[in-house]
Amino acid sequence: MADDLGPSADTELARLASVDLNLLVPLLALLEERSVTRAAAKVGLSQPAMSHALRRMRRLLGDELVVRQGSGMSLTPRGVELIVPLRRALHQTARVVGSAPFDPAVDRRVITVAMTSSTALVIGSTLARLLAERAPHAVLRMRIAPMPSSTMFTEDGVDVMLMSEAFTLPHPRERLYDDRWVVITNSRAPKAAGPAELLATLPHVTFDSSPQRYRPYEVLDAEGLAYTVRQYVSDSLLIPQLIAGAGGVAVHRYRVTTAMSAYLDLRIEEFPFPIQRLGTDMVWNPWLADDEFKSWLRGIFVEAAASL
């Protein structure tokens, strides 16, 4: 028969018959939460029942899975390795047994989105509003991630990352919105001075990107423009506030400075030299098995970006 998977499949099924598959749901909860108490609450078990399940899972898999580390718990390498295939298998199982189609009006899942604080400033409030309107029972979890990595999919349960095109990950990506570099100062700067003159004459407040070189300053150096740096800041969101209050000049992202200009004294000028535009992309969890949910959530992001 076409659906006959052969003797090896029969052997695997026979092996599964001796395993208590009811352990898989609490196992995933434990690996994701890294806490017996939180995992028990997540799946509706008592704490003693979850502790008993953990002991059984350890015996079954021959590994500690989670170990005490300081005041918290951390995963063993085997525990980390299990998260992705286990999450995928349980999502597929839920679909096989006829779980109800995704309905945002009643869905109660936690939607986890990773982004930088700058991206959260630009699109976070619009995203939160749309999700509250369209999925009133869901919970939005914003994970601020200055340096995104693939482990956020496996260890933090991130559904989608919103990340700059400057960062590379080995997963497909789709552009959400574009951005560009601009020059910012405040209203006390010389009004007749253009952006190049502002950059050459006013002291700079700049993002501390060491050990890498901040891209706009590579361009300024290549153009031979002399400038003076007064202050380095490790959090780029502080730069517009410092400029508004203490003066000087900075190169920053247009969408962030536009949002902050609503309540800060900021003057925005175009960057005076050719420079590559910026893009923020959606990078989806490659193991996210719920295609209907993913398609719906993508539409929410596209709508939020369209309002910028």
pTM attached to this predicted model? 0.71
Residue 19 is predicted with a pLDDT of 65
Q: How confident is the model at residue 86 (pLDDT cuts 50, 70, 90)?
A: confident
Instruction: Return d(Cα 57, Cα 268) in angstroms, integer.
Output: 59
Q: Confidence class of residue 17 from pLDDT cuts 50, 70 and 90? A: low
What confidence tens digit (pLDDT) does each residue in 147-196 have? 877 778 877 778 999 998 878 888 888 999 999 999 999 999 999 999 99
The pLDDT of residue 6 = 53
Dmax over Cα atoms in the chain, in whole Å? 82
Q: Which pLDDT score is estimated for 1? A: 42
Q: Tell me which of 269 and 38 has the higher pLDDT.
A: 269
Q: What is the pLDDT of residue 270?
A: 97
Position 2 scores a pLDDT of: 45
In this predicted structure, the answer to whether residue 84 has a pLDDT above a threshold of 50 is yes
Architecture of domain 110-172+280-306 in this structure: 3-Layer(aba) Sandwich (3.40)
- Joined tokens for residue 50: 């979850």
Q: Is the pLDDT of residue 49 over 80?
A: yes
How does residue 224 score in pLDDT terms, banded at 50, 70 and 90?
very high
The pLDDT value recorded for residue 50 is 86
Confidence of residue 22 (pLDDT cuts 50, 70, 90): confident
By CB atoms closer than 10 A (0-12, 13-18, 19+), residue 277 is: exposed
Q: What is the mean pLDDT of residues 135-139?
A: 95
Name the CATH superfamily for 181-276.
Periplasmic binding protein-like II (3.40.190.10)
What mean pLDDT value characterizes the chain?
Answer: 87
Q: Do domains 110-172+280-306 and 181-276 have the same CATH topology?
A: yes
Q: What is the CATH number of domain 20-96?
A: 1.10.10.10
Task: Determine how β-strand 72-75 pairs with β-strand 278-284.
Answer: unpaired
Report the pLDDT averaged over residues 12-26: 69
pLDDT greater than 80 at residue 16: no
CA–CA separation, 238 and 206 (whole Å)? 10
Tokens of 307: 């309002």
Q: Which of 70-79, 103-112, 113-122 has the lowest mean pLDDT?
A: 70-79
Q: Give residue 128's pLDDT.
A: 96
Domain regions of the chain by residue span: 20-96, 110-172+280-306, 181-276
Dihedral, CA atoms, 57, 60, 61, 66, nearest 10 degrees? 20
pLDDT of amino acid 99:
59
